[in-house]
Amino acid sequence: MALRNIRHDEDEILRKQSKLVKVFDDRLKELADDMIETMNHAEGVGLAAVQVGILKQMIVIDIGEGPMVFVNPEILETEGSCDDYEGCLSVPGYSGVVERPEKLKMKYQDLEGNEHELETEGFLTRVICHETDHLKGILYTDKAKEMYTNEELKAKLDKENKKKEAK
């Protein structure tokens, strides 16, 4: 396993469409392992292959339940809507409010090429949507209703928490 360099928002590759994975081999598994290691090292919860400079439709996610790998992910259905804060390893130092579905149904392949379907809700849905947007060349900043530096967001949330505690 190896740490890969995470591309940042000014890098043109992040605006390109990722290609379908057609070859399921040891190199793909090595890429997945590297992506998981890179994501964990950067303290992220998701990473798309394009973020490490590889135009393949593959994302890795770990929201605290162990790493998951999705190859050629496709969102089939969504339900509901909610706004929440998001950040991105490719846009360090910033967070934004983004509207995402509350639930989704998706299909994907595993590292062996086997097809699966998955229904999710909550935070996992948000992360899947964020990461699959990367595969289409879309950054969360394109969809953000509000943007903050991480310092501004921390101050805003601290202020909101103090108001709640005062009640």
Q: Which residues are catalytic?
A: 131
* Nearest partner of 148 among 85, 83, 81, 82, judged by Cα: 85
Contact 66, 84 (CB under 8 A): no
The type of residue at 59 is: I
* Nearest partner of 54 among 114, 110, 4, judged by Cα: 4
Q: Are strands 68-79 and 115-121 parallel, antiparallel or unpaired?
A: unpaired
Which residues are CB-contacts of 12 (< 8 A; sequence separation ≥ 6)?
none
**First vs last Cα of the chain: how many Å apart?**
50
* Nearest partner of 136 among 16, 40, 46, judged by Cα: 16
